Amino acid sequence: MTMLIPNKRCGLTVMAAALLLAGSAAQAQTFQAQSPVSSAPVTIGYIPAFKGMGPIMAQADLTQYTHLNISFVNPDAEGAVMRGDRFACMADDKGQAVTDADFRAAVTQAQAAGAKVLVSLGGGHIPDCSGRWTELLRPENRSKVVQSLMALVDQYGLDGLDVDLEGALLTEIDVAGNYTPFIADLSRELRARGKLLTCATASYEGGMIPVSSIAYFDLVNVMSYDAIGPSWGQAGDEHSSYAQAEADMALWRARGVPQAKLVLGVPFYGYGYGQYRRNYRVRDLLAEYGEAALNSDVWGQRCAGCDYITYNGLETLKRKAQLGVTQGGGIMVWEISQDTDDHRLIRALNTTMKGAE
């Protein structure tokens, strides 16, 4: 779930951090005791339905993931998630609505591999088939959306929901006072079923979930990437540095996320500049440039106006895995189809987390 374009990085003073912690501590204590999350490190992977669930899952080692989030689902203008035997607003790799049969097969396959399966809501780009989330989450409409989502969870035996409302949309919903009440309603319904509620969040002003919502989530996945991209950021920078990961983990601990709930997001992709393509999967880098590509975080010369690709090599991913398990509850990956054919990245992450634990 490549996040929306950040406007600026956000820092916290010690006093501000203390106030945030004080404001959310009571809620966090209340909900943490009820959380169905295991104390073992989590390895969360996203499955983008719009790239084809079947092919992606066939080539991935699903046993390497504790949680798999199928993305993305959006309700239609009437708040419905399903229309007959198809999703109202979730497309496959051919641009067609995902069918009941295909979705059920994906859930069954992932759960058979031992993973908990969630559906991720929203995404960095909301498709035209979706209703307007700002309207859907108004008090008079919200219960219909929540019940539609609960029917989805019940129908497919899902293990929970992941909320990935981002950027300006997230801010607009929150300013209207409708984000945390929506999350609270989802939490109440999911906890009654023994299910999970997770989220993905950025770490810049205007792109962060509100502190008031943190206590309701079982896991908070921090999208620690996309500091720069094809049309934003400072040319010559890295898109997902280790320093960024450290800062993001510290920020969310200061905002009141308990360590066991905090998950560090890492990218299995990179961005190219100059003579290079705009987008690269790590599997592409390995295929095109060989083993040497995995030993660095940059291919070419990283500077403004230069030809280079910025990504995470194996050593940086391992360092981030150690950070994720020592400062948080594990690792999240966007997304599983971008790994190498031999699943080298996810296996390195899991091996490192086990060693650090």
Q: Which is it for the CA torsion 97, 54, 186, 2, positive or negative?
A: negative
Name the domain count of the chain.
1
> Helix (H, G, I), strand (E, B), or coil: what is residue 279?
strand
CA distance linking residue 260 with residue 328, whole number of Å? 6
> Looking at the domain assignment, is residue 8 inside a domain?
no
Position 343 in a domain: yes
Confidence of residue 32 (pLDDT cuts 50, 70, 90): very low
Longest dimension (CA), the chain: 56
Instruction: List the beta strands (DSSP E) in the chain.
Output: 42-48, 67-73, 82-83, 86-91, 97-99, 116-122, 160-164, 196-201, 219-222, 262-267, 269-273, 279-281, 298-300, 308-310, 330-334
Cα end-to-end distance, the chain, whole Å = 27
Tens-digit pLDDT profile for residues 217-276: 999 999 999 999 999 999 899 999 999 999 999 999 999 999 999 999 999 999 999 999
Is 80 exceeded by the pLDDT of residue 22?
A: no
Residue 23 scores a pLDDT above 90: no
Give dist(CA 357, CA 326) in Å, integer. 7
Please count the CA atoms within 13 angstroms of the CA of 237 that sit on its side-chain side: 17
Burial annotation 98-117 (CB, 10 A radius, 16+ → b, else e): beeebbeebbebbbebebbb
Average confidence score pLDDT of the chain: 91
User: What confidence score (pLDDT) does residue 40 get?
Assistant: 84
Q: Is residue 211 part of a domain?
A: yes
CATH number of the domain within which 68 lies? 3.20.20.80
Residue 62 lies in a domain: yes
Is residue 24 pLDDT above 50, yes or no?
no
| 299-347 pLDDT per residue, tens | 999 999 999 999 999 999 999 999 999 999 999 999 999 999 999 999 9
Over residues 263-295, the pLDDT tens digits come to 999 999 999 999 999 999 999 999 999 999 999
Residue-wise pLDDT tens digits, 11-20: 333 333 333 4
- The tokens for 72 are 């993305």
Q: Per the domain annotation, does 32 fall within a domain?
A: yes
Q: Is 195 among the domain residues?
A: yes
HEC secondary structure over 79-93: CCCEECCEEEEEECC
Judge contact between 189 and 8, C-beta under 8 A.
Answer: no
User: Does residue 284 fall inside a structural domain?
Assistant: no
The residue among 24, 4, 7 whose CA lies nearest residue 258 is 24
Judge whether 276 lies within some domain.
no
**Residue that is written with structure tokens 């189809």 in the block:** 337
Pair 331, 324: CB distance under 8 Å: yes
Parent domain of 126:
14-270+315-356
Place of tokens 């008031």: 212
Query: d(Cα 227, Cα 238) in Å, to the nearest integer?
Result: 7
